[in-house]
Amino acid sequence: MDASNRRVRDRGIFVEGDTVEIGGSVWKRNRWSVLAVALGLNLFTSSIAAQRPENPILSYAVHASDAASTSTLKTTPDPEKNVLRISRRSLKTSAGMEESRVGVLAYEGKFLAYTLEHESVKIPPGRYAGELRWSKRFGETVVYIHVPKRSGIEIHRGNCPADSGGCVLVGTAVDGACLDNSRQALERTVKTLPQTFTVVVTEQN
């Protein structure tokens, strides 16, 4: 079969014969330019995949399209046992008037999720007691952090700074000033943690 007559599908773009379909729009091309488009797409997507970060602790500001890469991220050894770390980065991003602070969540050195807090009410750096607790508000198990002079501080689902309310949001990817796939990230976190543990919050200025 002529290579230009094969049907190629790559990231929502369809190529068949002398036709290119992109996002529902159909374009007519000569067969050689169609083949070039198909080959070019494969080269482009392979290049993007090769550029994805391997370790979020070194490079954490990824986009939503990189969410799948979290399953292959490396583990950084932690000298302390039974410690859940929230390592906030210096990066601040804004969504309208809401300012967020992004970080990385890891248990005993194992990457669990990216974190997001509202800059104005973020948890102070320090060591806190943590536990898994049923949340009446969300109707599911969340991570509860005992922060002095505060109550109801949890790690729970949410995407943008307005969802935080002084708590910590989790997601599998950073998307501008928000997070993606929050439910998936929380489920992974809860599944990994024991009933009680220590929470350590650090911050880079």
Q: Does domain 64-203 match CATH 2.40.440?
A: yes
The pair of structure tokens assigned to 171 is: 């997601």
Average pLDDT (20-26) is: 50
Tell whether the model's pLDDT for residue 204 goes beyond 60.
yes
- pTM for the full predicted model: 0.64
Q: Please say if the pLDDT value at position 102 is more than 60.
A: yes
Residue 202 pLDDT exceeds 50: yes
Average pLDDT along the chain: 74
pLDDT at residue 11 in the model: 40
Q: What are the boundaries of each domain within the chain?
A: 3-50, 64-203
| Lowest-pLDDT choice from 68-82, 99-113, 121-135, 168-182 | 68-82
The share of the chain scoring above pLDDT 90, in percent, equals: 49
Cα three-residue angle 101-103-109, rounded to 5 degrees? 165
CA distance 138 to 171: 16
Kindly give, in sequence order, each residue whose CB lies less than 8 Å from that of residue 36, ignoring residues fewer than 6 positions away.
none
Say whether pLDDT at 193 is over 80.
Answer: yes
